[in-house]
Amino acid sequence: MKILSIFGTRPEAIKMAMLCRKLSETEGIKHKVCVTAQHRQMLDQVLDFFEIKPDFDLDIMKAGQDLTDITCEVLKGLKELFKSYHPDMILVHGDTTTCMAASLAAFYAGIKVGHVEAGLRTGNLQSPFPEEANRELVSKLADLNFSATEANKQNLLNEGIKPEKIIVTGNTVIDSLLFAKDKMNSFSEEVTDSLVRNIFENHHQHIILVTGHRRENFGDGFLNICRALKEIAEKHPEVEIVYPVHLNPEVQKPVNKVLNGISNVHLIKPLSYPDFVYAMKQSFFLLTDSGGIQEEAPGLGKPVLVMRDTTERPEAIDAGTAKLVGADFDKITQGIESLLTDEEEYNRMARAHNPYGDGKAVERIIDKLLHKK
């Protein structure tokens, strides 16, 4: 069986890494990797860490590209690739524009599609945008849907996807996390800020790790988030807030405007995946609008405050490992205060069951591929 894994962003690469490594070692499967490079530098960092060398690189990233540009370039690039290399199935991940466009290109070429992390839903096409639309489109095109949880499977069944096309595997991010956390016991040499290194490596008690990049928080949302962080930093000088700031100008501008110059707020460049895993391990809790971190942090016993109004990962909310606070000043400050001052609340969230699997998702996906009729 000829299988081609296609991805283009850092989150996709993280969640596909262990699957790619194992597929390349599996008898009965001829596996190749194609990257679109929807992200370039951040993607390459993950590939290097997991020692994955792509067989094909569309290298589509250009300054100022928008969603239409990405879609068109992936479609054109894969159209040409499929003329010379025609796999039996492609594997795509999640809800990126690369995932959607690759699935459509395969559909046009008569190639089967396997969708990893299928079935996440918010029920609102605008939140998150464009991810919710991407994932719904891919579900209709996929021949196999590898769902992380039973709730994801139920979402697909509710949309009329046939049960035989769905398998619950757990989330591949846990497979990657377990691999990475055992390798990372300090920062790499890429982290040159001596103060930040000292904070993490000397096990500072109260480190709040922050990430943010969602389009729906651009504008007033990020201003509210930053004002809340400023409030906490000034009220709790014993707390260290570390914020690897996304490169998007829509994020950089409000973050630097509100938070620059505060002594216990550390605005640093984005961390590589292994360095971020180490930072998560050493943190007290996380504040994020990222989807993947909602899955990873519970695997490390870290509470998560989610800066979104809705989430396609309700399992973490239901399990108690995560809490929705939106981009709301009051909810964010109250959520942080609770975790800093209420030991019982902190322990309840930190010790809650991780709903995203046991690190054997890759094994289940490969078993299904080998036994697919």
The position carrying tokens 């599609």 is 113
Cα 354 to Cα 346: distance, rounded to the nearest angstrom: 15
Cα 15 to Cα 10: distance, rounded to the nearest angstrom: 9
Cα 169 to Cα 24: distance, rounded to the nearest angstrom: 19
Please state at what angle helix 10-23 crosses helix 291-299, rounded to 10 degrees: 60
The position carrying tokens 């000829």 is 2
Which residue numbers are catalytic?
A: 95, 117, 131, 213, 215, 246
Cα 244 to Cα 288: distance, rounded to the nearest angstrom: 11
Residue 7's beta-bridge partner residues? Answer: 35
Cα 58 to Cα 63: distance, rounded to the nearest angstrom: 15
Phi and psi torsions of 71, nearest 5°: -60, -50
Phi and psi torsions of 20, nearest 5°: -60, -45
Q: How far is CA 150 from CA 118, 155, 262, in A?
A: 11, 9, 44
User: What is the residue type of 237?
Assistant: P
Can the peptide bond before residue 130 be classed as cis, meaning omega within 30 degrees of 0? yes
Cα 198 to Cα 240: distance, rounded to the nearest angstrom: 11
| DSSP letter, residue 28 | T
> Which tokens in the block code for residue 272?
């590589």
CA dihedral in degrees (302, 303, 306, 310; nearest 10)? 110
